[in-house]
Amino acid sequence: MSESLDVNVALGPRSYHISVVSNQFAQFADTLETWMNQSPAYRNALADGSKTALIITDRNLATLHTAQIENSLKSKDWKFETAIIEPGEKSKSLEVISGLYDKLVAMKADRQTVLIAVGGGVTGDAAGFVAATYVRGLPFVQVPTSLLAHVDSSVGGKVGVNHPQAKNLIGAFYQPLGVFIDTSTLETLPVRDYRSGLAEVVKYGVILDSRFFHYLEQNVAELNQRDPDVLRNVIARSCELKAEVVEQDEHERSGLRAILNYGHTFAHAFEALCGYGELMHGEAVSIGMIYASYLAEKLDLISHQETERQIQLLETLGLPVLLPKGTRLDADQIIDRMKLDKKTVGGKLRFVLPTSLGRVEVFKEIPESLVREVLDELAPPAASDGDFQI
């Protein structure tokens, strides 16, 4: 059996564990029951034998990883049903949520019924929102299946759905009972999706842990080969680092949690202006981190060598560090879009910028002229026939 790594998210009565394993889906039900026994609110469900669950998954995973979760629950005599939603952001809608409520009503679900989310960030967000709101709270377990969900969306308790006018406008902070991460899910993940998750991993090294950044540099080959031993270490450390931030700023009130958005001010603008789907989120974050690092250089916060280390690591992991050739984005367009960013206050741009590898700070009122310099200097090469253009 492979080594199991355990990460504790210390939030007082809302504390929980993240279990990082490889090829251990058969042990899922045992892990779930251990977590329930550790919780005064839910151990009675095991004692009286009322072990019921609703699995929420997407159509792509219904016969893959979800089947393994179902088999594990059957082995421990759980009663469960499975609800299948469509993959993609359209499932983060109140219409889909209402259908999941109907499923719970039909099951006669109560506050001991466990919701199990098997999938990426969309499934976790939607299932978590259902758990937070149905009968004012159901126990909820995350089984993330993408690297991005492993190291980001499954940790921290953000759940929610989209409004027609904006993403994630309706939501809550609702912590899970636990997070079960099995690296075997990454074996079938498409290469672009896998690399997209690696961008967030690199981000943790830049913002919080220079030794972790060095570890990533030393294990590029293993990461590109999806080596399970290295992946367990990388995922567990990424979760630890995010947990440290969440523990200090669970509800995003102190501003500390903003450091997790390194590269995102540029990235969100690039995603929106290129058209959602043209750049994957992690690809946009990878590019955005380099733009932010160049901006930090102009402010004399870091050296060019520290920017180059980021470029080298991202490129060897197969990630882009510049916008695609032929992308036509005007600096005014990008800056106007940045002003819609949630970190902007009073129309003044704020950026998360590195002051060294392993440390970042939030900087307010960055001169637009410096931002424009970075955008102009890093503008992609001119388009030729057949290149993507805006």
Is 252 in the active site? yes
**316 annotated ligand binder:** no
Q: Which amino acid is at 242?
A: K
d(CA 373, CA 370): 5
Establish whether 281 is a catalytic residue.
yes
Is 146 within any annotated ligand binding site? yes
Given 162, 233, 261, 306, the catalytic residue? 261
DSSP characters over 241-287? HHHHHHHH-TTS-SSGGGGGGTTHHHHHHHHHHH-BTTB-HHHHHHH
Which residue in 252, 278, 368, 373 is the catalytic one?
252
Catalytic residue among 242, 309, 337, 343: 242
Residue of 237, 257, 337, 350 with catalytic role: 257
Could you confirm whether 268 is annotated as catalytic?
Answer: yes
- CA trace torsion 241, 290, 284, 374 (10° rounding): 140
Check whether 264 is labelled as a binding-site residue.
yes
Ligand-binding annotation for 34, yes or no, is no
Question: Is 200 annotated as catalytic?
Answer: yes
**Known catalytic membership, residue 158:** yes
* Active-site residue, from 200, 250, 283, 306: 200
- Considering the candidates 195, 237, 281, 309, report the single residue annotated as catalytic: 281
Examine the residue annotation and report whether 261 is marked as an active-site residue of this protein.
yes
Residue 124 marked ligand-binding: yes
Of 150, 195, 232, 268, the catalytic one is 268
Q: Is 57 a known ligand-binding residue?
A: no
Instruction: State the catalytic residue, choosing from 51, 150, 158, 232.
Output: 158
In the numeric block, which tokens belong to residue 291? 């733009």
Beta strands per DSSP E along the chain: 5-9, 16-21, 52-58, 79-85, 114-119, 140-144, 158-163, 166-173, 178-182, 350-356, 359-364
Catalytic (active site) residue 192: no
Can you tell me the distance from the alpha carbon of 7 to that of 259, in angstroms, rounded to the nearest whole number? 21
To the query of whether residue 86 is one of the catalytic residues in this protein, the response is no
Give the separation between CA 45 and CA 55, rounded to whole angstroms: 17
Residue type, 85: I
Binding residues for Zn(2+): 200, 264, 281
Annotated binding site: 121-125, 145-146, 158, 167, 185-188, 200, 264, 281
Positions marked active-site: 136, 158, 200, 242, 252, 257, 261, 264, 268, 281
Binding-site residues for NAD(+), in ranges, read 121-125, 145-146, 158, 167, 185-188
